[in-house]
Amino acid sequence: MSALRSDEVLMLSYRDGDLAAFAELYRRHSQGLYLFLTWRSPRREWVNDIMQDSWANLHQARARYEPGASFRTYLFQIARNRLIDLIRLNERVLLASDGGEDDWFEHVADAAHEGLAPDGELERKQQASHLHAMIRQLPVDQREALVLQQFNGMSLEEIAELVAAPVETVKSRLRYAMRKLRQELAPAAEEARA
């Protein structure tokens, strides 16, 4: 049964032609990969293309797959590399962008958390929206590490491998990100207590 098999075992099975193993990998990781790309991509129209490219590249590379890093790190690295390529190819376009992606991001962020908050909890949605806005304002490296850890459940080691940085650097990025978020949230928390 595939639910009991690790991602790496599933990928090896897929490498050997087991399409049900691929379906299970997709089921396990498509939402997390989509959320990662949503947070990381500067353009909303790229997210679906990168998703498709990532799974297609995984399919093309399956014959060469050897478990080294975790499967999730392997998959996210494929997607991250594709995103970096797109950013490099479109640097001038991005610099000239008007930044009108906020409405789209708010929609995706709300949709991702809709199941967590029952209808009528307007205050909670406003707090989540405020938190998302603060996360968006973090430096890219800090935001990436925070999203990978908090929204994708990656370990420090997995993040370090994915971003090709030492574990201590990842820890620092997370520490700075959390410090900045706490500083931004502190006034709102004190206001709520008053």
* pLDDT range class, residue 150, cuts 50, 70, 90: confident
Supply the pLDDT for residue 5.
Answer: 87
> What's the per-residue H, E or C state across the chain?
CHHHCCHHHHHHHHHCCCHHHHHHHHHHHHHHHHHHHHHHCCCHHHHHHHHHHHHHHHHHHHHHCCCCCCHHHHHHHHHHHHHHHHHHHCHHHHHHCCCCCHHHHHHHHHHHHHHHCCCCCHHHHHHHHHHHHHHHCCCHHHHHHHHHHHCCCCCHHHHHHHHCCCHHHHHHHHHHHHHHHHHHHHHHHHHHHC
Overall pTM > 0.75: no
User: What digits encode the pLDDT tens for the residues 91-110?
Assistant: 765 555 544 444 444 444 55
Nearest CA to 86 among 54, 112, 61? 54
* pLDDT of 127 strictly over 70: no
User: What digits encode the pLDDT tens for the residues 39-49?
Assistant: 888 888 889 99
